[in-house]
Structure 1
Amino acid sequence: MPDVTLPPLALRRSTARQGAGLRITAFGSSTTEGIGASSPRLGFVEIMHRAMQPHLPGLILRNRGIGGNNANDLHARLDTVIADAPDLVLLQTGSNDPLQEVPLAHFEALTRQDIAALRVATGADIVLIDQQYCRALDECAAFPPFLASLHRIGAQTATPVFPRHALMRSWCNRPGMDRDRLSPDGLHMGDEGYALLGTALAGWLLGGIAGIRAAGAV
C-alpha cells in the first residue's frame, strides 16, 4: 500500500485556546486506554502528550479510554467527557462494535448523536480516529462496513477522520514491519504501533493549530 497523505486539518477552537491551557480529552476503547503497551507511558495518548506539550503551554490531556467499549458504552459515558469541558475531543470508536455484533445502523445513529451532543455541550473541536489494521478485524466479516461508516459519518458531520487503518497498512511497507508486529496479539497495538500512532497524530493535530510549525506536522 502506498504512503498515506493525511487530510488537511483546521482546529479553530484549539487555535483560539492554544496559549491558555488547551484541554484535550481522548475518548475511546482499548487503543485509547493503551492496552497492549508494555507500560502506560508507551500508549499513544501519553506519547502524543509528550510530543505536543512543548508547543502548547499548560496543555491538559485526559485519557477516557476503557477497553472493550462499543458505541453503547461510549454513549453512556458521554457526560464524563462533557464534564471535562474539552477544547478538543479525540473520539476513537468502531473497533469493538463489529466484533460484538452491534448493528451498523445503531452504531451510526449513536455516533452521530454523540458528535452532535459534544458540539452543543462543549463547542469543542472533534476528531474521529478510525479502526486499527489487525488480524481480528481482518477476519471479521462485519468489519468493512464499519470502517466505511466511520468515514461517511465524518464527511456528513464535517468531522475530520484520522485514517489509522490506512496508515497502519502503509507502515507495513517498512522493512521488518508487518500487521502482526504492529498488533502482536492480533487486536491491540503494541509499543511500536503506539509510538507510530502517537507521533503521527501529534504532528497532524499540531499542524491543525494555526501558528504551530512543529517537526512532523503536516
Structure 2
Amino acid sequence: MKDTVLKVVVLFFVITALLGCSNTNKSSVEPNQVNSSPVAENTTNVATSSEKIKFKTEGGTDLFSLKQQADGAKLVDGKEKELVRIKADKSGKVKFKNAADKTLGYVVTAKGYWKLENPEQNKELYVLRKQNNGGLNLEDAGKKVVYQIKSDDNGWEILKPNNQLVYQVKVKEGKTALKNSSGKTVFYTKSSITPIAFACFGFDVLNREQQAALAYAVNLTGGQ
C-alpha cells in the first residue's frame, strides 16, 4: 500500500513539472510574435517620404518640383536642374544649400512660428508667426508685418498689411492653386502638401530657395 501511495505522489510531481515547463515555453515565444508589426509601419513611412511634389503652370507645363528624400528634399526646375538642397536634423532645424553645396540659410521651427535665418545663423531674416485668430503673419527682422495670411472658405489669402490682396491659395477637387489678385492661376499642384506650406511660394519678398525651405519646414510639421 505504501509503495502505491509513493508512486502516485511521484507521478503527481512529474506531471506538475511537465506542465510548468510547457507554460514557460509558451510565454517565451509569444513576445516575439507581438513585436513584429512596427517594421511594417516604418516601411510605410519611408515610402511616403519619397513623394515628388510637382508644381505646374495653368497650361500643365512642369515649373518646378520638390523631391522628397529620407532626410530632406531637393528643389529642381522643370528640366530637372537642381536649384536647392534641403536637409532637416532631429531638432527640426532645416538647412538649405545651392547646387554648389553653398549654405544659403536655415529655417528654425519653434512653437508658434518658423524663423528664417542667414547662413551664419546670427541674423533673423523673416518669421512666419501664428496669430490668435487662426491666421499667420510673415514678419521681417524688425517684426514689421510684410504679409498677412488669412483663411477663407477654400484655402488662404495672402494680403499686404493694408489688406490689399496679393495671392489666394485655393483648394478644389484635389488641386491646390496659387492665384493672383485677378483670379488667374500662377501655378498649381495635385501632390500632397498642406495649403499653408504651399502659400509660402506666394511670399514674393523671399527668393525661390527661401520659399522652398520655408515651405518644406512648414509642411514637415503639418502647418502646426
Name the TM-score, length of structure 1 as normaliser. Answer: 0.29
Higher strand fraction: Structure 1 or Structure 2?
2
Higher RCO (CA 8 Å, separation ≥ 6 residues):
1
Higher helix fraction: Structure 1 or Structure 2?
1
